[in-house]
Structure formats: structure tokens, C-alpha cells
Structure 1
């Protein structure tokens, strides 16, 4: 049996990928290892593997109320995902399959939204939420999160719906399928890879968002997870091992979501961003 030879180019590529994987995974591994140390070991030798794992750090993090922050983040993330997916799919379906005068300009305005840094909108959004009396409310986070997630979501779904053959739409019409039924039972299921991609990207963005939530929310009961984690840092003394445990707990939900849906990311990005 002849052994397959590996070209030097592939060896270099594999080495680069291996290095990139190690660089990417190292912070996560270091965070988990640090969460199993006591505070003294954390400062004495930050890079060592603990001989006696301190799982009590997770208990400490939980007693600090991290579960309440996590519930707030889960609620705002799920609500944002639902609204972004429904609005982007419905809007893209209408402008891609039933174009009207000015549809291209409208889509272009959404695409332009991807080039506007979110930080540029902090001051006007704060003034707006203050005027509406929505400060210290999750509603004040929901609408900006939806607005920031829609441009990319529409970019992907619009490109995807434009690729679907017209023959499929004509066949559905011949079978007596109306617009709403066509969208719900044909076009929406076909967009599952794109929806998975939107779901992961939006969930990660909302779950990790800190600056806007830190400015809008001051009530400890309504803080999201990134802002709540900041509260674990003491003024004069900080248990960094417990903070590492809290960070590990906060990373678990988004890692699970990514693992479950990662298989469709590439298909969704290619389907939404490339036209045939």
C-alpha cells in the first residue's frame, strides 16, 4: 500500500492552523485552570496547574448572584434573537421576491448600518432612552440590540432569498400557496442555515455586550451578565479565582449554542453572502 505523501504546503498550513487553534483556545483553558485555584496560588504562579482543585470558587461565584445576571442576559438574548430573525427574514423575503420601487435603496440603507460604529450612537441613544423614561429597563437594551443586529441579518437573508429559483415560487403559486403560507412553509425552512448563522452571531454579540448595558442599567437587579461580572471585582481586594469561575460559568451557555449550531455557520455565510 502506497502511503499518501503530504506536500510541504499542507504541512505549513496545518502548522499555522495548529498554532491558531492553540492561541484561540489558550485564554479559555487558562480561565478554567485559574478558576480551580485559590487566590494565593493565582498570584503566586498564574501559569501552573492546580494540585488541589478549588471547586468552591464556583459556589462563591454563584452566591454572588451570577445566576440573576445570567437570567437577564438569557431573556434579552432570546428576545433579541426572535425579533431579529423574524424581521430580517420577513423583510428580505418581501424585497427579494416582490421588489418594489425604492426597495434597493431601503436595503442599501440597512447595509450601510453595518459601517456605523455602535459607540457613535451611545450618547443619542442614552438621551432618547432617558426621554422615554426607559433607563434601568431591559427595553432600553432590547431595541438598540435589535437595531444593531438587523443589518447583518438582512444582508445574509436577502442574499439567500435572491438565490432561490423562481421556478420554486411559481410551483408554489400553482399549488394555491399564498404569500404568507409560501413564506412560512417554503422560504423560511430553506433559510435554516442562514438563520443558524444569524442566531450564533447575534447571540454572541448580545451576550457579550458591555458598554451600552453598563451605561443604561444601574439597578443591580436588572444588570446583564457582563455588567454583573464587573460587580465581582472588589474596591480594595478581588478574588480573581472566583472571578475566573464566574467567567467560566458565563461562557458555558454560548459555547453550548455554538457547538450545537456551528455546523451550519459556513453554509449560512456562503448562502447569504454569495450570489449564484
Structure 2
């Protein structure tokens, strides 16, 4: 008994040993992330004259919310609604297709399913810039040019390979005994998908939701190429409102960036546990 306790004591002490190098690296990384955010927020509270040539780390002498008022009065709610609708559309398509595809790739180990899975993963290596012209022709043939669908469809297509890869890794952590138990009960593949796979893959699905939503929220190339009118304009294109031939309204531009990041930050705070669980595997493995 005493021998066992003495054997486990050094093991526990080693596991609790501090790592100063990791602590310093984490602190440096935190500064790298926080300092630009601090500079962006403080500049967004400064006046247009004070913003030019000021020290970004120095708080504004006369903070004002006029920049945020200007942003809210310059079509920001309309751009925010369009961006939210595009993100919801991308998430719905990606989750609705990637979950069954990942389930088939994990459960069906035949030649054709494996080949289709490897072919799908080739999409990870294809940059969007390389296929803009074919995509433009397809969008015009589908008669969805200059609409939100012109943003949703290609964004969802380019988010699919990574999403399927994430979900395949998550579903492979589900034990084979669980599938066999449901098969003995006479469960069909559809029932396994909805009653076994989806409940146990909530972490991976949350990861896919956040990933695909970010692709739509931060997307710039597809909105720039496939839309031109004011009606389907999204937040990334709305930033052009503060750029003119006479200069750039830097405080208003940064105020728009701050407001654009608030919704996605709130979503991250709500789903951060599921996101970490999905990245580590089912059950945090």
C-alpha cells in the first residue's frame, strides 16, 4: 500500500510541474492578440482628425460614439442581416450534407465510398481564386447572380471538404459496439444516424457550424465577384462605404469592424465548450 502511494507520488508531482516556457509563450501570444484589438477599439472611439497620425496604443483624448452612430446609419443593419442569412444558409447546407457524407464514409468501407471520400478531400487543395471563372459561369447559368445564393452556394461548397474531414474524425471515435447494439435491435442506417451518430457527434457538428459560419461571415471574394448591387451586399463589402477618393474614414471603418465581430464572438462564447470538445474528439479524447 505504501509502495503504491510512493510510486504514484512522483508521477503526480511531475504532472503538476510548471512549464515557464509555455507560460511565457502563452503570454506573448496573448499580447499579440490583445494589442491589435485594443488599438482597433480605441481608434474607433477617436475623432477623424485625431485618428490620423495618433499613437494607436494611446487612449483618445476625447472618446466619442459618433463613429458607431455613423456606421449604424450607413446601412450596417442591412449588411448584418444579409451576412447572417448567408451564414445560416451555408451552415444549413454544410451540416445537412456533411453529416450523412461522413456517416457513409465511416460505416461503408467499400471501394466506391472510399474513392468518393478521397475525391471530396481534393477540394481542400483547390484555392477559390483558381476556379472563380468557372464558378462565375455556373452562377450565371443558375440565374442566381447578384443574390445571396451566389454567396451561399460556393461558400458552402468550399467549406464541405474540411467539414466532412472533421466529422469523419469525430464519428470514428464512436465505438463499434454501439453500432452493433443498434443493429441487433433492428435499427436502420437512418435511425442510427439520428439516434446514435448525431447525439454523440455534437462536438464535431458544433465545430463544423462555427467553421462554416466563419467562412460565410468573413468571405470577401465571392461577394465581390458574384454580387454588384446594394440589395445582397454583406458586411465585408459594406466596409467600402468608408473608403472614398478623398481618403479613408479610419475610425468609422474600425467601428464597423468591431460591430461585425461582436455576433461571431458571442456565438463563440456560447459554443466554446462544444467547439473544444469537437476539436479534441468525442468526449474530449
Relative to the length of structure 1, the TM-score reads: 0.91
Q: 1:143-193: per-residue Cα shift (whole Å, max 9, x none)?
A: 111110110111111222223222111212333433222211211011111
Partner residue of 1:107? 117
- Distance in structure 1 (CA, Å) of the matches to 2:126 and 2:17: 43
Q: 1:176-220: per-residue Cα shift (whole Å, max 9, x none)?
A: 433222211211011111011111222112101112211111111
Asked if the contact 1:36–1:54 (Cα under 8 Å) also holds between the matched residues in 2, the reply is yes
Partner residue of 1:31? 40
Structure of higher RCO (CA pairs closer than 8 Å, 6+ residues apart): 1
Partner residue of 2:3? none
1:117 equivalent to 2:127? Answer yes
- Distance in structure 2 (CA, Å) of the matches to 1:231 and 1:264: 37
Gaps of 5+ in 2: 1-12
Query: Which aligned pairs between 1:37-116 and structure 2 lie closer than 5 A?
Result: 37-47=46-56, 48-116=58-126
Q: Which stretches of structure 1, 4 residues or more, deviate above 6 A after TM superposition?
A: none
Segment of structure 1 superposing worse, 249-258 or 197-206? 197-206
Report how far residue 258 of structure 1 moved. Answer: 1.5
- Distance in structure 1 (CA, Å) of the matches to 2:43 and 2:111: 58
What is the root-mean-square deviation of aligned Cα atoms in Å?
2.2
1:22 equivalent to 2:31? Answer yes
Partner residue of 2:6? none
Asked if the contact 2:91–2:213 (Cα under 8 Å) also holds between the matched residues in 1, the reply is yes
Call closer, same or farther: CA 1:46–1:214 in 2, change over 3 Å: farther
Partner residue of 1:11? 20
Asked if the contact 2:152–2:216 (Cα under 8 Å) also holds between the matched residues in 1, the reply is no
Relative to the length of structure 2, the TM-score reads: 0.88
- Distance in structure 2 (CA, Å) of the matches to 1:95 and 1:29: 45
1:192 equivalent to 2:202? Answer yes
- Distance in structure 2 (CA, Å) of the matches to 1:134 and 1:82: 18
1:259 equivalent to 2:277? Answer no
- Distance in structure 2 (CA, Å) of the matches to 1:39 and 1:265: 39
1:220 counterpart SS class: coil
Report how far residue 238 of structure 1 moved. Answer: 3.0
Corresponding pairs, count: 270
- Distance in structure 1 (CA, Å) of the matches to 2:269 and 2:155: 23
Query: Which aligned pairs between 1:178-189 and structure 2 lie closer than 5 A?
Result: 178-189=188-199
Report how far residue 23 of structure 1 moved. Answer: 0.6
Asked if the contact 1:64–1:232 (Cα under 8 Å) also holds between the matched residues in 2, the reply is no
Partner residue of 2:180? 170
Partner residue of 2:5? none
1:163 counterpart SS class: coil
Report how far residue 127 of structure 1 moved. Answer: 2.0
Report how far residue 108 of structure 1 moved. Answer: 0.3
Asked if the contact 1:97–1:161 (Cα under 8 Å) also holds between the matched residues in 2, the reply is no
Asked if the contact 2:121–2:161 (Cα under 8 Å) also holds between the matched residues in 1, the reply is yes
